Amino acid sequence: MKIPDPSQTHWRKSTHSGANEGECVEIADLNGQVGIRDSKNPVGGHLALTRQSFAALLTHLTS
């Protein structure tokens, strides 16, 4: 599976991130994987998780 170039990907900020808050993450669809990055440092790299791993992460964070 080819993962798209992150600089050419549409990243979305979390709805839980306020307009002026400092703790912000963005997510993107990376052809079957979910990309996660720091919105304050978009060129600093990203984490790519399978959809199953991303769902498990969200479950863990909300429990």
The pLDDT tens digits for 30-60 are 888 999 998 888 888 889 999 999 999 999 9
| Model pLDDT, residue 8 | 73
Task: Give me 54's structure tokens.
Answer: 């991303």
Secondary structure class of 13 (helix, strand, coil): strand
- Strand residue runs (E) in 1-63: 12-13, 25-30, 33-38, 47-50
Contacts of 11 (CB under 8 A, 6+ apart): 26, 27, 28, 35, 37, 39, 42
Q: How much is the pLDDT for 2?
A: 59
From the centroid of its chain, how far is CA 42?
10
Question: What are the domain boundaries of the chain?
Answer: 6-62
- The predicted structure's pLDDT at residue 63: 83
Beta strand 12-13 with 25-30: parallel, antiparallel or unpaired? antiparallel
